[in-house]
Structure 1
């Protein structure tokens, strides 16, 4: 039996929308930090000090970034807070400090190591109060719909369906780092110079590619296939399969090449425009009319770039050697953000206890690495801080 705390539909205002290279949703470290602070407060509370929290699943219900669009670009809405300072010349306003903010509604499903049913409403009320005293992703918590304690047995499908109903409509964030590793291997089979960053960009970029105009070719082959001739039907099928792939003049099916070559030899005025378009299709130049096609991402699914931790880029430094630290005691280490690939999945896909547990994000610590993942065991790619070529992005969670 597994035990959970559900903090349901938390409304957050002015949360941090920027995470490393990415923007649009806070880093997963914010949510684990929220659960970690809750754990520390429990340890300091005499009644709840025995409670041990585990992983945390993040379910998004709504999000609105504070942005505006001008032309083809998007900018964050900025403000001056406060508009004037006593120490500032009031003839000129203070400068704007750029920051990305968003409002969101999320639910947190936190794993608990042992049963907490005996605490009942007292724990629920205490957690509800602590939520309002904490910040989530730097934002202010405006409302919490409810806090619930519950347990689920592996065969208890009724409880799982009840959890689904409470979280719908909602999307849970899943770690898909293995897709990045697989895509990198596929790219390096044809080009060994491809780096991990290039593979990562393929998942986040909105790419379009030009294909020479082909409407006359398509109309001709479609009309030809209406005669239900096996050769014509096969020719149309190969043409349609060709259109499903990215345009490459070297990968045009031979049957199509042979067909239009023979047509060129016996072409009449009726097919002159068709043959001209075919010649431009197989040998495009700068004057060739084109149609722009969206290039799909390497894998299916609602895939997004995510920030999931930090990588050390310096040795641990004594506090006295660094100026401007937050306190005068804690040692200092400079870090870079670690990025990976995530996927938003609807909570209706919570079909079993395993799928729920696989959605739980957890901390992982290793020399020079501070990561969040949904895997229990890791091996570190490289513990050194000197080799930084590919350290900025997770390649595969099993390799840390």
Structure 2
């Protein structure tokens, strides 16, 4: 299991409005951009900051969703994406344009930062935070356009959280910081639920696979109570589902798995970059959960980071969320 890289600061870019982001996160899932899109954004942002001479190393990223509006029709039980109407070719045929499902978002980005400049100069935090936000306004997030907000509003201003001192001090700072992300929901990894469901299915079907467990968690499974075996009058059938107590569980892509060996640069036709090695991959799937930020107990539970294993053909996104017991006052 990969470990979250070290960081000393959290750079928060709050309440970004994104228009027409890609809502299709993988060949099998939709509803929110893939977490790999945000990791790609993080790396692209790091390259842009380096060209400006900013000493910033982004090691992980967290996403807080405040609002979302998927662009679908409202036709009852079955919905369809609202697609664009593209011009046809000269001969009247349909242009070869791959349509994408779209979604409007309001999100906050939380970047785990390592920087010698920020460690040495406390007054550099505010200017650097605003520079990073200005760069984000010039970029696309999951294919969507970033719409500028009213930066004069206090909720829209970027800020830096210094996780300094002892572990107890860092915990207190994070407890204060996470409340500023409310109201909203954070996407975390729940691989543990997938393993639990797989073991439950194996008890009744020894040939059940992890794909069966993933499909089982991706839907709501209803069951009726056992039939009445005594002579008493028949009682109404009681139905229950297996989502009770699980929370907001969603199937998500968590990276890519290799379909073949790594190909040398320039050996694959029509590759975008002839200077970089190439590999054919397919999506890896897992289970995620949307939870409120106030239920997080450490920055690591919020953040996603890359844990690639090229020798094993795995390019996976990791998150260190660990479930804790839910008490009546939680």
* TM-score, normalising length: structure 1: 0.68
Comparing 183-192 and 295-304, the one that deviates more? 295-304
Which of 162, 175, 178 pairs up with 1:151? 162
What do residues 49-103 of structure 1 show as CA deviations (whole Å, max 9, x unaligned)?
Answer: 3x2222111111111111014353111111124x35xx523x5664764321101
Whether the 8 Å CA contact 1:63–1:104 is kept in 2: the answer is: yes
- Deviation, 1:357, is 2.2
Whether the 8 Å CA contact 1:80–1:95 is kept in 2: the answer is: no
- Deviation, 1:313, is 0.4
Q: What SS does structure 1 have at the residue aligned with 2:104?
A: strand
2:153 is matched with which residue? none
What is the aligned residue count? Answer: 299
Are 1:178 and 2:208 matched, yes or no?
Answer: no
Which of 344, 348, 361 pairs up with 2:304? 361
More helix, by proportion = 1
2:13 is matched with which residue? 7
State the alpha-carbon separation in 2 of the partners of residues 114 and 34 from structure 1: 19
Matches within 5 A, 1:1-400: 2-20=8-26, 21-46=28-53, 48-49=54-55, 51-81=56-86, 83-84=87-88, 88-89=90-91, 94=95, 97-114=98-115, 116=118, 117-143=122-148, 145-153=156-164, 154-155=168-169, 159-209=173-223, 211=224, 247-249=225-227, 257=229, 260-261=230-231, 274=233, 278=234, 293=239, 295-297=241-243, 300-350=246-296, 352=297, 355-366=298-309, 367=311, 368-375=313-320
Q: What SS does structure 2 have at the residue aligned with 1:23?
A: coil
Q: What SS does structure 2 have at the residue aligned with 1:332?
A: coil
- Deviation, 1:19, is 1.4
Q: Who wins on radius of gyration, i.e. which is larger?
A: 1
State the alpha-carbon separation in 2 of the partners of residues 52 and 105 from structure 1: 25
State the alpha-carbon separation in 1 of the partners of residues 9 and 273 from structure 2: 37
State the alpha-carbon separation in 2 of the partners of residues 97 and 39 from structure 1: 29
Q: CA RMSD in A?
A: 2.7
Whether the 8 Å CA contact 2:266–2:276 is kept in 1: the answer is: no
Closer, same or farther in 2 for the Cα pair 1:88/1:208, shift >3 Å? farther
1:382 is matched with which residue? none
State the alpha-carbon separation in 2 of the partners of residues 171 and 184 from structure 1: 27
Whether the 8 Å CA contact 1:80–1:94 is kept in 2: the answer is: no
* TM-score, normalising length: structure 2: 0.81
State the alpha-carbon separation in 2 of the partners of residues 338 and 13 from structure 1: 27
